[in-house]
Amino acid sequence: MRSLAELEEDWDGEGASPISEAALNYSEDIIRKSRTAAKYLDYIAPTAFGSVILQWKRQNSIINAEIAENGIGFYSKENGHISYALEYTEDIDFALEKLLEHLVVRENG
């Protein structure tokens, strides 16, 4: 994941922003705080807006989160249907708490 920090301005040739240090730190915190986050992390990708996409897959469920410098949003899908969605919020502590709750449910479910 740290290799994302090396992406410079316009890394995609279309004006993309570099990935913010805060987004990387939040993403790493999520992975450190949950065994499920580490075990089932399926996908990590930069966005053109300087944020990070993290995706977890397990059986018939998916959690997809966008982690930015000043906010987080995520959704959870089960059997192809959205079961929970947190719209992008600047209340990062709340968003991290909710995301970790959903990862724990996957761990215990």
Q: What is the average per-residue pLDDT within 25-38?
A: 86
Q: Provide the pLDDT for residue 38.
A: 83
Strand order in the sheet with 52-58: 41-46, 52-58, 61-68, 71-78, 81-89
pLDDT band at 108 (very low <50, low <70, confident <90, very high): low
Q: Two tokens at 90?
A: 């600047």
In the predicted model, what is the mean pLDDT of the chain?
90
Q: Provide the pLDDT for residue 109.
A: 54
Which amino acid appears at position 77 of this protein? K
- pTM (2 decimals)? 0.89
Reported as a single tens digit per residue, the pLDDT across 35-87 is 778 888 999 999 999 999 999 998 888 999 999 999 999 999 999 999 999 99
Q: Provide the pLDDT for residue 60.
A: 87
